Amino acid sequence: RYSGVGRREVGHGNLAERSLKNMLPAEKDFPYALRLVSDILESNGSSSMASVCAGSLALMDGGVPVKKAVAGIAMGLIKEGDAFAVLSDILGNEDHFGDMDFKVAGTSEGITGFQMDIKIKGVSFEIMEIALRQAKEGRLHILGIMNKAIDAPRPEICSFAPTLVSLTVPTDLIGSIIGPGGKTIQGMQKEFGVDISIEDDGTVQIAGPDGESANGAATRIRLMTTMPVVGEVYDGVVTKLMEFGALVEILPGKSGLMHISEIDMKKVHKVTDYFKEGDKVKVKLLRIEGGKYSLSRKALLKEAAASEAKNKEE
């Protein structure tokens, strides 16, 4: 028979979540939505503490950079008059016939969550002290066993998880990334197969099916928001040919003019003798005037010739 989630599942799930969530990385460092599912097929002990241990192992195995491993243990109590015994890792019958169910979860350094159910009027400071001490001993023992399986988060996230990349761009360049009517950003999403969202503060979130697509889109955006520097050399693409030169795109959305006199060290009569649209060419940015970029291939040829002559002299 299938039914909805009951009170027991909600309560145990909340306890396990509270015990684990403070060990999760900050959203800015790990912008993923996480869903942990703990299927309890049969239970003769604390299913919530088992979920804490299994959840911690699953997070590490999935590549979530948790701060520390978390384990949990359920403590019990048998009390008759002034005599009592504190039980560690209680079974179902010990929970049913006992006087206390005290669940304690935490790391090697401290407690991250706890919950107590009692069937008596209260517990003394002595009982509480003993229960916490035994819980710590049991928790450290369990953590030691867990660490034998995996003692640190895997360096890469699970291959089945999407890749998320976050970067920040100047707010005055958000418009250039979006493009007229969203044309530029939609084109990138289609080209790389990713989803891109941009916040008003310049935060860009990229979600892709794999690292290659997400990082490819991130690289494109970084290049789009990078300002060309005079003297730098760029791998450009010829986008348009004219009688007096060629337009070369040196960064996404940023093109400059390579004048016909800057194509070769010898006199060039026709630009079409050297290039066609779509050709790749290495150019040097000579100057920026009025927001326009002047490019040169000849400057690089001169530098190469001078270097070769110097090597021959040596």
Mean pLDDT of 177-188: 92
Mean pLDDT of 19-38: 90
Q: Map residue 244 onto helix, strand or coil.
A: coil
Domains identified in the chain and CATH numbers:
7-149 (3.30.230.70), 163-224 (3.30.1370.10), 233-313 (2.40.50.140)
E strands present in the chain: 71-80, 83-88, 100-106, 111-118, 163-168, 195-198, 203-208, 233-242, 245-251, 254-259, 280-289, 292-296
Query: What pLDDT was estimated at residue 1?
Result: 63
Enter the pTM of the model: 0.64
Query: What pLDDT was estimated at residue 314?
Result: 67
Mean pLDDT of 30-36: 88
| Residue pair 162/205 in contact by the 8 Å Cβ criterion | no
What CA–CA distances, in Å, run from 276 to 140, 189, 222, 238, 248? 70, 29, 28, 7, 11
Query: What pLDDT was estimated at residue 210?
Result: 86
Largest CA distance in the chain: 109
Distance separating alpha carbons of residues 86 and 292, to the nearest angstrom = 80
Mean pLDDT of 9-21: 89
How confident is the model over 90-120, as pLDDT tens digits?
Answer: 888 888 889 999 999 999 999 999 999 999 9
| Residue pair 123/100 in contact by the 8 Å Cβ criterion | yes
The one-letter amino acid code at 181 reads G
